[in-house]
Copies of this chain bind each other. A is one copy, B any other.
């Protein structure tokens, strides 16, 4: 009863009900939003009974929180840990993605209570992302790495939000701005012919 969360083997429990729930949550929350996804639908897509869901999660809010927690180690390493790229290339590689709406922005908009765990996770994630940007910017020799990191993070969020309003991707526009900002902040790159920046909408 109560909390038989972990067995001695780490994930010894069951046949992956919890995992299926989180997979279904990721899909449904992305496709139709958090508030529009009911527990019943979530269970049916996950192939899990409601009873089982509430044995793994105390409430829907916990499903949301855990759903967001799964994103933490997701994008960050994939973008910033490519050792075969220069720091400058790594800064710009973050804009070569093709994502729908950032789930953290979605959660921040859909959930009203600022004290909701999901809101805190969104802040943490966005802060961590900006910090990652700043670290790479510092590594690249930027004049004001913190500032550049915050600026690049804002660009990503703008592209994400705008991509939700329209249906087309806006990351190309953000990438063009990012190229300008990076070239502006890295004194060593002043002489680049940098054929970037033409890609408007």
Q: Is the interface of A mostly helix, strand, loop or mixed?
A: helix
Stretch at the interface among A9-17, A48-56, A75-83, A167-175: A167-175
> A190 on the interface (CB 8 Å rule)?
yes
Partner among B35, B119, B122, B196 whose Cβ is within 8 Å of the Cβ of A198: B196
Q: How many copies of the shown chain assemble into the complex?
A: 2
Residues A164 and B109 in contact, CB atoms below 8 Å apart = yes
Q: Which residues of B contact A160 (CB under 8 A)?
A: 161
Show 28 residue pairs from A and B whose CB-CB distance is below 8 angstroms, ordered by the A residue: A33-B112, A101-B109, A105-B109, A105-B161, A109-B110, A114-B167, A122-B165, A123-B165, A126-B165, A146-B200, A146-B201, A147-B200, A151-B177, A154-B159, A154-B162, A154-B170, A154-B173, A155-B155, A155-B177, A161-B161, A176-B199, A180-B180, A180-B181, A190-B194, A190-B196, A196-B198, A197-B199, A198-B201
Interface residues, chain A, with chain B CB atoms under 8 Å away: 32-33, 35-36, 101, 104-106, 108-110, 112, 114, 119, 122-123, 126, 144, 146-147, 150-151, 153-162, 164-167, 170, 173-174, 176-177, 179-181, 183-184, 190, 192-201
